[in-house]
Amino acid sequence: MVGMMGAAGAGLAVAPALAGGTPAAAAPLAQAPVAAKDPKLEALKQEAIRAVEKRAKLVQEIVDSLFSFSELGFQEFQTKRYLISILRKNGFAIQEGISGIPTAWLATWGSGGPVIAMGSDIDGIPRSSQKPGVIGRDPLVEPMGLDHAPGHGEGHNSGMAAVVAGAIVLKELMQRNNIKGRLKVWPGVAEELLGSKAYYVRDGYFDDVDVTLFSHVSSGLTTDWGAASGNGLLSIEYTFKGSPGHGASPHLGRSALDAVQLMTAGMEYRREHLPIQQRTHFIIPYGGDQPNVIPEIAKVWYYLREDTADEILALRALAEKIAKAAAEMTDTQLVDMRVLGAASPQHFNRPVAEAAAANMTLVGMPNWSEDDHTYARAVQEAAGSTPRGLSTEVGGLSGPIPNQYRQGGGSDDIGDISWKVPTITIRFPANIPGGGPSHTWWQALSMATPIAHKGTTTCAKVYATTVLDLLLRPELVRDAKAYFEAEQAGRYKPLIGPNDKPSIHLNKERMELWRPRLEKVYYNPARYATYLDQLGIAYPGGRQR
């Protein structure tokens, strides 16, 4: 991990603490001195930018199609079929079902080296079904009782559009200019469940990769290096077994639900005495059959988040200790502690991040229209934020947040890949700043509008130009590997074991319930220019025609 004043971190601008001791985000970094630019490479980059722009329609169709599929993690079957059909038509070889995950795949093209992997997430969020381009709650499909259909309440419908369009442009440029190298395109399956990337790493799919470029939806155009904000995570389901009995004679039974409740109480009492950066949260997916039957089986599902692998493992040991104590207090058994997902803390590569940040400056922000700003301001106002419109300046590069300012946060299993090979995340502006809470229908509002189309096309341009740097500047790959060797090599502590398996059962019943209803609103690009057109939504008015 990079220190504040270490060789790799010299000159890092440290974010000051805000009032009350809350740290600001890491300040943007000045670009490191770079060698004179190669005119041929710069010309190729401009050609790539133009080629991506010519495929803006493809980007829009992918963004809108994936939005309409609205598939949850491990159940992204229509998304898989759609994406691999595009890649296969463009000459990529497809390997399906990698790591034993039916919706996972790997697309490859090229020969020789370097090998560049490009990926993004594809899964949706439960209960976040939402029409795009409107103001306020308006689900794509009617709810059933209190339950809503899934939707793209974070924006994972966008990233693979940038990857696919960028990969197709790169393939054509590489062919035309006889550029050696291999492209590997892969999806982040079930990212919301932290369900796939650690298995990809364990099963060797990144063993021959030189550099990985990952992307994630955001409201700005940024990247960073070093220890990223947020936490790593272990997702574990604890199963208790008691003995059944009649509710009228409870002394003859032992309640597994009692054990679950005591475990959750114990974890809550310990929360005050855990480090500030930890996050522990849970649901009870199964608590019994009916009130007059003492629950013989009960389950509680925890996300255990911490800042380092060692701290995550310590938190796991604490949870196991409390679970065993709960079983002992209730005369029940703790019969299973199943890992459902995992994400290592993230650490990103400085030389590659600096190259990507330079290309962000080269590409620039999307050319937002006044309609885009008008819609953004309307959403911001509805969400209770200052109606300021969309970001217009490239955010660029940030360094690691110093340890004393780290207070925990979200997780992404790209962290596991970042400890295997030099990796960065490209964050791109397809969403609205201050547009409502993440992981909810609010974040779906912009995700099939011109805002998402333009922001995702911008991301594809950054992908294409950065991969050209990696293919044609051997020193960049060498520097990336040197940074990795100095800062990360040998320090990866996988949070999954050799016998853990992907939790491909998750979301199956829910998608079987909702898919027939969602199929009726799938986007049809052969008939409609955009999904907004298909839905009859006026933009930016936020109303249906």
pLDDT in tens, the chain (545 residues): 323 223 333 333 333 332 233 333 444 444 445 567 899 999 999 999 999 999 999 999 999 999 999 999 999 999 999 999 999 999 999 999 999 999 999 999 999 999 999 999 999 999 999 999 999 999 999 999 999 999 999 999 999 999 999 999 999 999 999 999 999 999 999 999 999 999 999 999 999 999 999 999 999 999 999 998 889 999 999 999 999 998 788 888 999 999 999 999 999 999 999 988 899 999 999 999 999 999 999 999 999 999 999 999 999 999 999 999 999 999 999 999 999 999 999 999 999 999 999 999 999 999 999 999 999 999 999 999 999 999 999 999 999 877 766 777 889 999 999 999 999 999 999 999 999 999 999 999 999 999 999 999 999 999 999 999 999 999 999 999 999 999 999 999 999 999 999 999 999 999 999 999 999 999 999 999 999 999 999 999 766 65
Partnered with residue 303 across adjacent β-strands are 235, 281
Instruction: Compute the distance between CA of residue 211 and CA of residue 228 in angstroms, rounded to an integer.
Output: 18
Q: Are 54 and 429 in contact (CB under 8 A)?
A: no
Residue 15, judged by CB atoms within 10 A of its CB (0-12, 13-18, 19+), counts as middle
Q: Are 122 and 156 in contact (CB under 8 A)?
A: yes
Instruction: Compute the distance between CA of residue 337 and CA of residue 259 in angstroms, rounded to an integer.
Output: 14
Q: Are 308 and 232 in contact (CB under 8 A)?
A: yes
Q: Are 189 and 74 in contact (CB under 8 A)?
A: yes
Instruction: Compute the distance between CA of residue 278 and CA of residue 162 in angstroms, rounded to an integer.
Output: 33
pLDDT of residue 332: 98
DSSP 151: B
Task: Show the 3-state SS of 495-544.
Answer: CCCCCCCCCCCCCHHHHHHHHHHHHCCCCCCCCCCCHHHHHCEECCCCEE
The dihedral built from the CA positions of residue 372, 377, 382 and 386, taken in this order, carries a sign that is: positive
DSSP 368: -
CA angle, residues 184, 188, 190, in degrees to nearest 5? 155
Long-range contacts, stretch 83-87, CB < 8 angstroms, 24+ apart: 83/122, 83/160, 83/164, 83/187, 86/58, 86/62, 86/164, 87/164, 87/167, 87/168, 87/185
Instruction: Compute the distance between CA of residue 191 and CA of residue 199 in angstroms, rounded to an integer.
Output: 12
- What phi, psi does 268 have (nearest 5°)? -70, -40
Looking at 55-99, list the stretches that DSSP marks H as alpha helix, in order from N- to C-terminal side: 56-69, 77-89
Pairing of strands 279-286, 347-348: unpaired
pLDDT of residue 15: 35
Instruction: Compute the distance between CA of residue 489 and CA of residue 475 in angstroms, rounded to an integer.
Output: 19
Partnered with residue 235 across adjacent β-strands are 303, 341
CA nearest to 154, candidates 411, 528, 505, 535: 411
CA nearest to 104, candidates 515, 502, 508, 518: 502
Instruction: Compute the distance between CA of residue 462 and CA of residue 466 in angstroms, rounded to an integer.
Output: 6
DSSP 208: T
State the DSSP H helix or E strand holding residue 482, giving kind and residue range, or none if neither.
Answer: helix 474-487
Q: Which whole-number Å values give the CA distances from 40 to 47, 145, 202, 393, 469, in the listed order?
A: 11, 61, 39, 28, 11
CA diameter of the chain? 84
What tokens were used for 74?
């491990």
Q: Are 494 and 137 in contact (CB under 8 A)?
A: no
Counting DSSP H helices and E strands in the chain, the numbers are: 14, 16
Beta strands in 323-438 (DSSP E): 333-343, 347-348, 396-398, 423-429
Q: Which whole-number Å values give the CA distances from 327 to 234, 242, 320, 534, in the listed order?
A: 21, 9, 11, 55
Backbone angle region of 308, left / alpha / beta, with phi > 0 → left and psi within -120 to 50 → alpha = beta
What tokens were used for 245?
């009995």
What tokens were used for 258?
């009692």
Cis-peptide into 114, omega within 30 deg? yes
Q: Which whole-number Å values give the CA distances from 5 to 10, 11, 32, 167, 347, in the listed order?
A: 5, 7, 16, 37, 17
Instruction: Residue 540: count other Cβ atoms within 10 Å of its Cβ.
Output: 22
Partnered with residue 183 across adjacent β-strands are 109, 116
Tell me if residue 244 falls in helix, strand or coil.
coil
pLDDT of residue 545: 52
CA–chain centroid gap for 341, Å, is 14
